[in-house]
Copies of this chain bind each other. A is one copy, B any other.
Amino acid sequence: MTDTLTLNGQHLILALYQQGVRHLVLSPGSRSTPLALLFAEFERQHDDFKLYVDVDERSAAFFALGLIKGTGEPVALLATSGTAILEYTAAVGEASLSHLPLIILSTNRPQELRGLGTPQTLPQQTVFSDYVKEQVEITLQDGEKDVSEYIDFKLQTLVQRAKNHPVGPVQVELPLRKPLMPEMGTTWPAIQPIRFYQGENQAPQPIEIDLKDKKVLILAGPAKGGQTDTDLLAFAQEHDLPILTDVLSRQRGEGAIYGYDALLKAKNIDDSYRPDLVLRFGATPVSGRILNWLKANHCEIWQIGPATYWDHSRQSSTFFDMTDAAFLKAVRFKKAIQQQDFNQKWQALAQIKASNSAAKLVQILDEAVDEETPIFVANSMAVRDFDNYFTGRHSRLVYANRGANGIDGEVSSAMGLAAASGKKTVFFTGDLTFFHDLTGLNLAKRYNLPIDIIVVNNNGGKIFSHLPQAQAVDYFEEVFQTPQDLDFEKIAAAFSYDFHRLAAPEELAELLNEAATKPRIFLLDSQDD
């Protein structure tokens, strides 16, 4: 007879697995020992389950976000009690806003050791309170026979809740008593998978749009959770609708409009481009300017997709709380000539020429990658340059952490994406973002991840030079630009990356195509705007 801790630990792991959890990211510690060992045993028994180990819990959590983006599946995190759990907070906040099904397994001391100043013991039940959809505390070491059955049921429904709209993180708090050793090598129980069916999420009736009255435009924002299975571009072309595509929309390609942020900045888009109605898909676009312009022009905005009711331009008049596909199926257009003219007018816009070296790198990458190459783009300036200059001509697989838009943990998220894809993956970043998550660099060596990191180095926070504080010249460098004077070549050497310093952006194309035996860092020193 298997002991209670082992048996219930097995039930917990099986319940996660039954609902599609195929990856665990573990940060080692004492309190998490029984589950860590059982997960390790489970991994050896299941070819389709993978355990990753990352000692920096912050890095581990952001790595998990990359895994989710790349696989579209829920991913579990496991750590020991105390500040280890608190290190997850930033990634949990990001997962909440970017709608990623992150399953946090937080171990803790048992109740009789709480609130007594016991080492590594903090209240953990509330730390994610606003960011997790549900939190449940489960005592594995409870021999009551209903408990195993409860774990089967509750854990499966909890994973389902994470995956349901609005997708988001959930937490399982696990108080554990010593002894913390499970029995290894026992026969695992079988558990009954729960099946979940959801309504087809159809519009109740056809949605009529009369194009005689209205010029209509599609704004395709970032694909929610990084995943999409809807071809908005084909739909737009069928109906002669100009489609503005965010770089994270996965809808860029022939006929898609991009670079509108730079065009708006250059005032190359004036009020004559105004649509009457905007069909907005996906999450908040990278370009803030397009939202401001639509607002200034009093365009009507319809938002389509499982509704979060989020719109910081506060302009949406109508929400279609259904899948994109359901909307496309239900919508009916009355055609008119003017829509074709309107589309052609948008299509005819000439792109703004890349004037800085980061933008040139983006264009080179755009040409150099193949359609299967995923690209993780850092926040701050990098994602803005991508939004303006990456056409998605070859690969549309562009990802970023655009929930809370932090510059933390991004190396690790890129590594998670590389681990999920198993293919050559590109991480495009500025120097501060690269520096912020140094520990994440070590994951490439540990898991043999085929990653190319492209760093645009302007030795500090370039984004601030675009903001009003640049006027405070006496304080600007100390307080905002914060040059770190990093020696990238030596950092690359310390973590066993091949290092290439680019004398000019153009050098990237050839180097990228060379066969790589190691992860690589390409650095371009850049002092321009």
Binding site for B on A (CB under 8 A): 26, 28, 30, 33, 36-37, 40-41, 51, 53, 55-58, 82-84, 86-87, 89-94, 96-97, 112-113, 115-123, 126-127, 129-131, 179-181, 184, 283-284, 288, 308, 310-312, 314, 402, 404-406, 408-409, 432, 435-436, 438-439, 442, 445-446, 461, 463-464, 467-469, 471-472, 474-475, 478-480, 482, 484-487, 490-491, 493-496
Contacts and interface: CB of A to CB of B under 8 A. Distances in A.
Contacts of A129: 126, 129
18 contacts: A30-B467, A33-B469, A53-B478, A56-B435, A58-B58, A82-B93, A82-B404, A82-B405, A82-B406, A116-B311, A118-B312, A119-B402, A180-B469, A435-B439, A435-B442, A442-B484, A442-B486, A486-B494
A284 B475 contact: no
Contacts of A471: 181
A36 B479 contact: yes
Which of A127, A130, A484 gathers the greatest number of chain B CB atoms within 10 Å?
A127
Given A180-B468, A181-B468, A53 B479 contact: yes
B83 A464 contact: no
Contacts of A409: 83
Given A83-B90, A127-B130, 5 more contacts: A55-B484, A84-B406, A118-B312, A180-B467, A436-B439
Contacts of A53: 478-479, 482
Contacts of A485: 445
A99 to B, nearest CB: 10
A400 to B, nearest CB: 12
A93 B128 CA distance: 13
Nearest to A28: B480
Contacts of A96: 122
Contacts of A474: 184
Contact of A284 (B36, B90, B119, B490): B119
Contacts of A482: 28, 53, 55
Contacts of A116: 310-312, 314
A435 B445 CA distance: 15
Given A55-B436, A83-B408, A469 B181 contact: yes
B487 A312 contact: no
A73 B93 CA distance: 31
A331 to B, nearest CB: 24
A90 B57 CA distance: 11
A50 to B, nearest CB: 12
Which of A86, A94, A404, A432 gathers the greatest number of chain B CB atoms within 10 Å?
A86
Given A55-B432, A55-B482, A126-B130, A117 B97 contact: yes
A127 to B, nearest CB: 7
Contact of A90 (B87, B406, B439, B478): B87
Which of A123, A438, A487 gathers the greatest number of chain B CB atoms within 10 Å?
A438
B57 A408 contact: yes
Contacts of A469: 33, 36-37, 180-181
